[in-house]
Amino acid sequence: MLWCMRKLRLLTAVTATAAVAGSLLVLPATAIPGLPANLPIELPEGVVPGSVNPTASTVPGIASGVDVSRWQHPNGQAIAWDQVRTDGQSFAVIKASEGSTWTNEHLAEDASQAAASGMKVGTYHYARPAGDPRAQAQHYAAQYNQVGNHSLPPVLDLEVAEGKSPEQLSAWTREFLNELQSLTGRTPMVYTYRYFWIEQMNNSQEFANYPLWLAAYQSTAPQPVGGWDKLDMWQRSDAGRVNGIAGNVDLNLFNGDENQLNMFSAGQLEASGGKLEGLTVDEGIDLGGDAAAIIGVILALAAGAIAAPALVDAAENANLEGLPDVVNDLIAQNNLPVEQLKEMANGHYTLGDLVLLLDNAQHVAEENGVAPAGAAESPEYEAAVGALTEMAQH
């Protein structure tokens, strides 16, 4: 399923707890505590449709790259890295590990073949802050040090808090990064997204001495968060198409040209800059619009203020047919991140941030062994989960 955000209208009848005004659904102030009163449920006009899948077309003077995980190996299919390189990609970042035990079985092959094709190669670790930071850094460092051809800094992928406060999460991050740097001899890079860093990390400025890789699925390069004064990399889409890779893949831009990428890879981390600032890429779906309205639909459903068909119809009109299944499953599992959704709506974060939030909630639920009853027998469920997980999975 391809996520194609377009103007969303609510076409179904709603329960008596909500009032309809014109084409808008307006929830009463008491419907969802913590949300703005009388929130109109309609997707803003700021969502700009484009081609469903951006391609790997390069931006002149800027180094482009991909990041991959097991999801880019359907049924064990190999990546044709020579084709990826020929399609204009200069670097590849490969998922190495998650938590304290999981490793990517495709890591060694992907790293070796990407390097052989002439690409700069890096790896990343998906953080699980419920676990010990030093143990996770040691696990990642073991994978990092076993795989040759590293040229990019090791990456901490920080997208979930798992119940930690901003202060606790900052302490966890500090301990992980210090341990990782000690074990690899490299200054790590931090990957995150705007909502998570501002709300879950309290927009910490402590880590600005590390390179920043920011995910933002929009047409204009985002502003840095925290204490950073620039982006080093921008993950601009989770649904790109690149020759040599089956299905969707994340597309990234480095903040510099090929020469700057070479210097950055050699350890001159100050070499990046001057390319992404103010950049607009008119390709693909722009998810930079305000997510408050569609969050209102999701929370109204969770609160019982509207019937399930309301979200189904809204999602179908937005070409988001898999969204109701994922949301309903998260509700059934009691894993819908309600408080984070409220924060996101009140803070007017983007649709891309919403995609990342729900994807990570689903991923953590799956990794924790939580699935709705009958899921194994439901191809619709499997398709919906697979589609959403592809969106921002690393």
Tell which wins on pLDDT, 229 or 43. Answer: 229
pTM comes to 0.84
> Residue 375 — pLDDT band, cuts 50, 70, 90?
very low
Helix (H) or strand (E) holding 238: strand 233-240
Compute the average pLDDT of residues 285-290.
84
Give the DSSP letter string of 127-152: --TTS-HHHHHHHHHHHHHHS----S
pLDDT category at 321 given cuts 50, 70, 90 is: low
Q: Which residues of 292-318 are buried (b: 16+ CB within 10 A; e: fewer)?
A: bbbbbbbbbbbbebbeeebbbbbbebb
Confidence at residue 385, expressed as pLDDT on a 0 to 100 scale: 39
- pLDDT per position as a tens digit, 237-265: 998 999 999 999 999 999 999 999 999 99
| Assigned CATH for 64-266 | 3.20.20.80
**Exposure string for 29-65, b = 16+ CB within 10 A, e = fewer:** eebbeebeeebbbbbbeebbeeeebbbbeebeebbbb
Going by pLDDT thresholds of 50, 70 and 90, the confidence category of residue 39 is low
Residue 351 has pLDDT above 60, yes or no: yes
Q: What is the per-residue pLDDT across 172-206, written as a single tens digit (0 to 9) for each?
A: 999 999 999 999 999 999 999 999 999 999 999 99
Which residue intervals of 103-237 are DSSP H helices? 107-116, 133-146, 166-184, 194-195
In Å, how far from its chain's centre is CA 112? Answer: 25
The tokens of 132 are what?
């010990």
User: What is the mean predicted confidence (pLDDT) over 137-164?
Assistant: 96
pLDDT for the residue numbered 55: 66
Q: With bands split at pLDDT 50, 70 and 90, how would you rate the model's confidence at 305?
A: confident
- pLDDT reported for residue 283: 80
- Residues 96 and 286: their CA atoms lie apart, in Å, by 29
State the virtual CA torsion across 232, 238, 243, 246 in degrees, nearest 10.
140
Q: What pLDDT, on the 0 to 100 scale, is given for residue 56? A: 59
Number of CB atoms found within 10 A of residue 346's CB: 15
Q: Considering the chain, what percentage of its residues have pLDDT values greater than 90? A: 65
Mean pLDDT of all residues in 24-35: 51
Structure tokens, 145: 């040090």
Q: In the predicted model, is pLDDT for residue 140 greater than 50?
A: yes
| CB atoms inside a 10 Å sphere around CB 24 | 15
Q: How far apart are CA 149 and CA 198, in angstroms?
A: 34
The number of angstroms, rounded, from the C-alpha of 71 to the middle of its chain's C-alpha atoms is 14
Q: How many other C-beta atoms can be found within 10 angstroms of the C-beta atom of residue 108?
A: 17
* Sign of the CA dihedral with 44 first, then 48, 54, and 59 last: negative
Higher-pLDDT residue of 267, 351: 267
User: What is the per-residue pLDDT for 311?
Assistant: 83
Answer for the pair 303, 34: CB distance below 8 angstroms, yes or no. no
Confidence (pLDDT) at 369: 77
Instruction: Show me where the domains of the chain are located.
Output: 64-266, 287-371
Query: What rounded mean pLDDT belongs to the chain?
Result: 83
Asked if 172 and 129 touch (Cβ cutoff 8 Å), the reply is yes
Contacts of 344 (CB under 8 A, 6+ apart): 195, 199, 291, 292, 295, 353, 354, 357
Higher-confidence residue of 21 and 226: namely 226
Percent share of the chain, pLDDT over 70: 77
Smallest Cα–Cα separation from 285: which of 350, 333, 233?
A: 350
